[in-house]
Amino acid sequence: MTNRIIYKQIKYFVITILLIGVTPIFYLWGQYQTELNAIQFQRESAAKHQLNFSQKEVYFITSELSTSLKLLSDNRVLLEFIQDPSFKNRSLLESIWALTATNYSYISQIRFIGVDGKEISRINKEENGIEIVPISELQDKSYRDYFIYAQTLKADTLGFFGIDLEVENGKVVTPLQPSLRIFTPVEIDSDRKGYLVFNLDVYEIVAQVEASLEVGYQLDFVNEEGYYLTSQDKQKTLGHLITERDIHNVLIETPELWQKMKTQNAGEFADKQSFYSFVKVTFGGDFDSNSLYLILRSENNLATANLDHELTFIIYEAILTVLFVTFISILIARYIAKHRTTSLESQLALAALNGMSAIVITDKNNRIIKVNEEFTRLSGWTEEEVIGQSPSMFQSGVHNKNFYSAMWKTIQSEGLWEGEVTNKRKDGSLLTEILRIQAICNNDGKREYFIASFVDITERKGLENRLRELSEKDPLTQCWNRRKFEREFSDIIANDSFMKGIESSCLAIIDIDYFKQINDKYGHDVGDKVITEVARMLGSESRRSDFVARIGGEEFAVILPNTQLQEAEIILNRLRVAVSLNDHIKVTISAGITDICNSREASYKRADLALYESKASGRNQIYCFSSDEMMTQIA
Closest CA to 542 of 522, 572, 521: 572
SS3 476: coil
DSSP conformation class of 238:
-
User: CA 147 to CA 113: how far, in whole Å?
Assistant: 9
**CATH 3.30.70.270 residue ranges for the chain:** 473-634
Give the pLDDT confidence score for residue 548 in this predicted structure.
93
- Mean pLDDT along residues 316-340: 44
Lowest mean pLDDT across 207-221, 311-325, 540-554: 311-325
Bridge partners of 416, per DSSP, are 438
Residue 339 has pLDDT above 60, yes or no: no
User: Distance between CA 105 and CA 114 in Å, rounded?
Assistant: 26
Nearest CA to 585 out of 527, 513, 530, 521 is that of: 530
Write out the residue limits of the CATH 3.30.450.20 domain(s) in the chain: 44-300, 358-458
First vs last C-alpha separation in the chain: 131
pTM, whole model, 2 decimals?
0.42
Phi first, then psi, for residue 116 (nearest 5°) are -90, 0
> What is the topology classification, in CATH, of domain 473-634?
Alpha-Beta Plaits (3.30.70)
Mean pLDDT of 421-434: 88
Superfamily of domain 358-458: PAS domain (3.30.450.20)
With cut-offs at 50, 70 and 90, classify the pLDDT of residue 487: confident
**Domain 44-300: which CATH number of 3.30.450.20, 3.40.50.300, 3.40.50.970, 3.30.43.10:** 3.30.450.20
**Nearest Cα to Cα of residue 202 among 170, 228, 173, 229:** 229
- The pLDDT of 411-416, averaged and rounded, is 87
Q: 13-22, 142-151, 178-187: which range is least confident on average?
A: 13-22
Share of the chain above pLDDT 90, in %: 16
Other Cβ atoms closer than 10 A to 140: 15
> Between these two residues, 524 and 630, which has the higher pLDDT value?
524
Q: Which of 217, 292, 249 is nearest to 51 (CA)?
A: 217
Residue 71, pLDDT above cutoff 80:
yes
